[in-house]
Amino acid sequence: MLGDPDLNLSSYIGDSIALKDAEIILKDKDVFGPGGEIVSVPGHTPGGLILVFPGMVFSGDTLFAGSIGRSDFPGGDGRQLIKAIKDKIFTLSDRYVFPGHGPETRIAEEQAENPFFSDSFTV
C-alpha cells in the first residue's frame, strides 16, 4: 500500500505520495525488546498489528476507548476487525491499552462497555 497513493490514502488529502517498499516487514508473533510481541489484528487495514508487552498493549487505530478503528478504507473489513479484537486482544489478560490517539483504556473495560462488542451491535 505504501507505493499506491490511493491505497495509502495520500491522494485523498491532496498530496499523492508513493513510497518504496518497506525494508522490514513485521509479522505475527515476532518478538522484540523486553517482553514485546507483535500480534496481527487485521480489519482496520490489511496487515494491522498491535504491540503487546506485559501489562500493556499499543493498539494503534485498532481499538480505542469506547470505539474501534475505521474499516471503510481500502482493504478494511469491519467484521474481521471485531473478530480479531475479540480473538487477539480480549483473550489477553487485563492490560492497559494505549490507542494511536485518544485516552488510554483497559481490556476489561472495553469488553464490558465498548458498544461495538455489545450483543445488539451488528456490522
Single pTM value for the model? 0.88
The kind and range of the H/E element at 72 are none
Residue of 14, 49, 55 whose CA lies nearest to 28: 49
| 16 found inside a domain | no
Residues above pLDDT 70, as percent of the chain: 99
Residue pLDDT, tens place only, 97-112: 999 999 999 999 999 9
Tell me which residue range forms the domain holding 80: 25-117
Residue at 4 is within a domain: no
Q: Is residue 17 part of a domain?
A: no
Cα distance between the two ends of the chain: 25
**Residue 69 within a domain:** yes
* 19 within domain boundaries: no
- Is 96 domain-assigned? yes
Residue 80 lies in a domain: yes
> Between vectors from CA 40 to CA 36 and to CA 44, what angle results, nearest 5°?
125
Going by C-alpha positions, the residue among 47, 50, 37, 26 that lies closest to residue 99 is 50
Tell me if 123 is assigned to some domain.
no
